[in-house]
Amino acid sequence: MAKVKSSYFCQSCGYESPKWLGKCPSCQQWNTFVEEVVEKKSAGIPDWRNTTHSTVSRANQPHKIQEIAYTEEHRLITPDKELNRVLGGGIVGGSLVLIGGEPGIGKSTLMLQLALTLPNIKVLYVSGEESEQQIKLRAERILNNPFSDCYILTETSTQNIFKQIEILEPNIVVIDSIQTLHSAHMESTPGSVSQVRECTAELLRFAKESNTPVFLIGHITKDGMIAGPKILEHMVDTVLQFEGDRHHVYRILRAIKNRFGSAAELGIYEMQGSGLREVSNPSEILLSLREEALSGVTVSATMEGMRPMLIETQALVSNSPYGTPQRSSTGFDTKRMNMLLAVLEKRCGFKLGAKDVFLNIAGGIKIEDPSIDLGLIAAIISSHEDIPISHKICFAAEVGLSGEIRAVTRIEQRIAEAEKLGFEQIFISKYNKKGLDLSKYKIGIQTVAKVEEVFELLFG
């Protein structure tokens, strides 16, 4: 019999302690330790291949780095171009991908849609949350005539799942979700720190030894972090975050970690009744189709990963009816907004201390790129003076504390995107002119160095 013992685990970060502690020494959280029964597993054969693997394994030998033969990893190109972009060009064999997001955001829909649209690929969709009838109803809504080999398994025991995998031999495995699985080697409840860690370790061994891609769907906490121990994100190869607002139809699939590609990529989807639709040109959906110019509305060129996007930045400045003025922003950092307001008051003389200021990024997305600073400042002054800015003008520059207009990266792609969408003029920093060939662009490029120059050109 294997030796059974109990340990205390922090439910916030997964820290293990032999005794109960009031404060976690790792994450500094209070009252997070829970006792769990742990059964030490004897080192032996992987559970998913008890019959085919030999009990004797040879130890790995060290090799010089020059002697290691490198072959380009084979990627499976899916019909979903946005998913291919986020994964770095396709699905890598033997990769373990974790997808997190809020309840109802569309994680299961995205994975089932992928399973149904892969031709000649055998996919095993394992669900521990829904019945076969529920998955069938969703599949009919997404695709009337699925032409792929998609198999549905409703199971939560990893031992039973690996038995079915050995019989079916799928090309891709989808687990929905990792918090519902439980392993017989651990006596704690499903979703606990030790169970999540053990089930993920078993799936990791299976993925690497069989070269089969595995997708894990994970829950998130109220703070927006993926539920379970932090080691879960370290164990997997790729961590994808599915973001969006339920009140908006657009969803963003963002790569937080990617061992096989860039971690700065994102994909954009539109949630429809028939599933998720790819958005190939996000600039067109994020810009309102308005004919007349409105005060407090500007367009800024931003970069999300390697993709340029034009977004609508909106500002509203009004007299404060209360003693304390309100400062509110949606989709933009409030602290950075306060910094920009201080620059306007100190460097340009605008009295905004007694004004209510509201900022909004249209489309319900969140932007962290500082290149929209100039567009936001122009929108604030446009609303303050109630003077509209032409909807054919675009902005791409960062604003410093001294009021200078700072250069931003990948300015050529931003200018090309604005030109493609029919803008007539773009404001950039004069420090971006170095190495930039202005003659190849038809759009008017206005270079500025100070915030005062921008206001003179826009408002006289």
CATH number at residue 352: 3.30.230.10
* Residue 154 falls inside a structural domain: yes
Residue 267 known to bind ligand? no
Pair 381, 417 in one domain: yes
Mean pLDDT, rounded, for 182-209? 88
Shared-domain flag, residues 189 and 268 = yes
Whichever domain contains 276, its CATH number is: 3.40.50.300
Domain assignment present for residue 49? The answer is no
Whether 313 and 445 share a structural domain: yes
Q: What are 159-162's contacts with CB under 8 Å, separation 24+?
A: 159/47, 159/183, 159/184, 161/126, 162/47, 162/48, 162/49, 162/202, 162/206
* Same domain as 262, residue 318: no
Residue 101 assigned as binding residue:
yes
CA distances from 191 to 74, 120, 256 (A): 33, 34, 22
386 vs 37: CA distance, rounded Å: 66
Domain count along the chain: 3
In terms of pLDDT, which residue wins out, 149 or 315? 315
Condensed to tens digits (0 to 9), the pLDDT of residues 199-229 reads 999 999 999 999 999 999 998 877 777 777 7
Do 272 and 301 share a domain, yes or no?
no
| Residue 181 maps to a domain | yes
Neighbours of 279 (CB within 10 A): 19
Is 177 flagged in the annotation as binding? no
Token reading at 130: 């829904």
88 and 12 assigned to the same domain: no
In a domain, 57, yes or no: no
pLDDT at 48: 53
DSSP 97-112: EEEEE-TTSSHHHHHH
350 shares a domain with 209: no
Residues 434, 303 within the same domain? yes
How far apart are the C-alpha atoms of 107 and 299, rounded to whole Å? 31
**Among candidate residues 280, 301, 332, the one where a domain is terminated:** 280
Reported as a single tens digit per residue, the pLDDT across 397-419 is 999 999 999 999 989 999 998 99
- Tell whether 108 is in a known binding site: yes
89 labelled binding-site residue: no
If one compares 1 and 103, the residue with the highest pLDDT of the two is: 103
Q: What is the pLDDT of residue 203?
A: 94
Question: Residues 256-298: pLDDT tens digits?
Answer: 899 998 887 888 888 888 888 888 877 777 777 666 778 999 9
pLDDT band at 45 (very low <50, low <70, confident <90, very high): very low
Which of 203, 157, 183, 164 is closest to 2 using CA atoms? 183
pLDDT tens, position by position, 353-364: 889 999 999 877
Whether residue 234 sits in one domain with residue 321? no
The last residue of one of the domains, among 280, 310, 333, is: 280
- Predicted TM-score (pTM) of the model is 0.73
Percentage of residues in the chain with pLDDT exceeding 90?
46
**46-94 tens-digit pLDDT:** 455 554 443 444 556 788 888 887 777 788 999 999 999 899 889 999 9
Predicted confidence (pLDDT) at residue 44 exceeds the cutoff of 50: no
CA atoms within 13 A on the CB side of 282: 26
Q: Are residues 338 and 244 in the same domain?
A: no
- 107 labeled part of a ligand binding site: yes
Please indicate if the annotation marks 105 as binding a ligand.
Answer: yes
The answer to whether residue 15 scores a pLDDT higher than 50 is yes
Rounded to the nearest integer, the mean pLDDT of the chain is 86
Give the range of the structural domain holding residue 184, as residue numbers without chain letter: 75-280
CA distances from 24 to 19, 32, 106, 365, 421 (A): 11, 7, 34, 35, 53
